[in-house]
Structure 1
């Protein structure tokens, strides 16, 4: 099993997807968002999950494409809710067309995701659809919780971890589990795949929280400190607010209350508060806790050892990026 081969096959299959022609205003935005690229992490995880139990990964390709179409559907609607002007450096659909078109095109993408799942063997279809429905609802629950947190002064750490599990991690878990189910994995193995994906997904989001503050700007690909500038309630800020006392707490709360400020000055000041409170080490410890749980679940799966080693190596490579 070669990761690059799987990635090439995914790109080829995505390029060949047909979405519809008329009216052009409905389908052109879909072709546009799907052409913008991205990591294609979720379809890759479907194929990697499949490859643990069978080496003919093309049998799982439509299932893999379904997950990617669904993921991009969520991005289209998230961009509308966030009023985001750019996605992967290009205008978002609601900017390039309009909000109503973005809503409708996203709706059709969700339908397309279901259409692609119909390719799955009928013996697995009911189970797969049921799990997809639960996963899709949880992603929406996570997005709503994230929006709710914008209006809450103090978010408990457990609530934040649950939010990122729902918004980000459950789809990674479903992707791996989906590949396993299509390859006829038993329930124990499929459940372990899901748990592995969810725990690794939470770890990756905590890593993103960390990199937003501590990454090398040249490697990060976006503004370092963006979460600090936006007062985003990340794991770092939540714990800083919990641990800060006296003058440190006053300084942090002052920066959070300001509506006009120098961005670089704020990023530097809040980062120094994080350093003083040991927030980086605290976040790394929690992140590694989730990574360790996930890798233990992967190790427990009875599957092709070569394929399992490749999945483990791929995961560890992602865990070590920019660290």
Structure 2
């Protein structure tokens, strides 16, 4: 079994014990619920891998900070679901739908505090840098979410704007997870920086791939209906690229579908996907994915550490890009 899978199992077991038997149930039951919905546990597992890359015997020291990162990640999803009005998460009702908005807000707040409690259990020698990194990352995730909300009502978003948004909203937490483990494992500042950049660039590539899969992927293996971003006019790399590269007539037709309030879902998805193909956005997106993946792998090489763990992290990065096409 890959070390990453072993760490995921360890994280799952530890998460389930975090808020057992805690009262009041109205506060903690939604937390138990959202943590029980599963997920890939990528961030905490990367924290443990980041530590073991430099010092295998210190992996246990990174367990509580890793749990804090996962609780924080799930807190952001809980509040994002309220902001987006999402009804389902991981094939189950979202917390604000199963309970109500007030419950989701308060339980989310408690998760944020719990995340800080867990992060603060970092060994004293590494505590200062880890807390500073976690606080900075938390702010950046909020900045990314605000940009995402802002971009919903704007049609002048550039590809650079979009990549900066997904860097903040998604990628920095992957980088911080790895760097947290690296700091605890005793990595040099330079090595920890390169490992952070590896995680961040891999995260950007991952999100670009997610955008691509939502339009061109296979619904059976992607795990959700294709075209969801098209239906909601979500400002993805593909939409922005199409708006910037279509002919005048193509832009007019795309804007028609963006503005249309009443439509047949399948008809809209098919029409917009055809426009994307006219603008060659699939090729552009794959090119950018690969650029960020190659940057990530270069940083991983410069991060040093255990050759075996490096190979596992490389496999992880390629695995992100090998989801169903």
Q: Compute the TM-score of the two structures, normalised by the length of structure 1.
A: 0.97
Written as runs of structure 1 = structure 2, the 5 A alignment for 1:1-323 is 2-18=3-19, 21-56=22-57, 57-323=59-325
Q: CA deviation at 1:91?
A: 1.3
Q: CA deviation at 1:18?
A: 2.9
Kept after mapping to 1: 8 A contact 2:166/2:207: yes
Q: Number of residue pairs matched?
A: 323
Kept after mapping to 2: 8 A contact 1:49/1:179: yes
Kept after mapping to 2: 8 A contact 1:196/1:297: yes
Q: CA deviation at 1:19?
A: 6.0
Q: CA deviation at 1:157?
A: 1.2
1:47-87 per-position Cα deviation (integer Å, ceiling 9, x unaligned): 11111012232221111101000001111111111111111
Kept after mapping to 2: 8 A contact 1:135/1:171: yes
Kept after mapping to 1: 8 A contact 2:199/2:296: yes
Q: CA deviation at 1:25?
A: 0.5
Q: CA deviation at 1:211?
A: 0.3
1:123-163 per-position Cα deviation (integer Å, ceiling 9, x unaligned): 11111111111100000000010000111122111111100
**CA RMSD, 1 decimal:** 1.2
- Provide the C-alpha distance between the structure 2 equivalents of 1:232 and 1:316, rounded to a whole number of angstroms: 26
Q: CA deviation at 1:22?
A: 2.1
- Provide the C-alpha distance between the structure 2 equivalents of 1:153 and 1:82, rounded to a whole number of angstroms: 19
Q: Compute the TM-score of the two structures, normalised by the length of structure 2.
A: 0.97
SS in structure 1 of the partner of residue 51 of structure 2? helix
Kept after mapping to 2: 8 A contact 1:19/1:112: no
Kept after mapping to 2: 8 A contact 1:47/1:61: yes
Q: CA deviation at 1:20?
A: 6.1
Kept after mapping to 1: 8 A contact 2:245/2:279: yes
Query: Following TM superposition, where does structure 1 have runs of at least 4 consecutive aligned residues deviating by more than 3 angstroms?
Result: none
* Structure 2: unaligned runs, 5 residues or longer: none
- Provide the C-alpha distance between the structure 2 equivalents of 1:97 and 1:256, rounded to a whole number of angstroms: 33
Q: CA deviation at 1:3?
A: 2.3
Q: CA deviation at 1:314?
A: 1.9
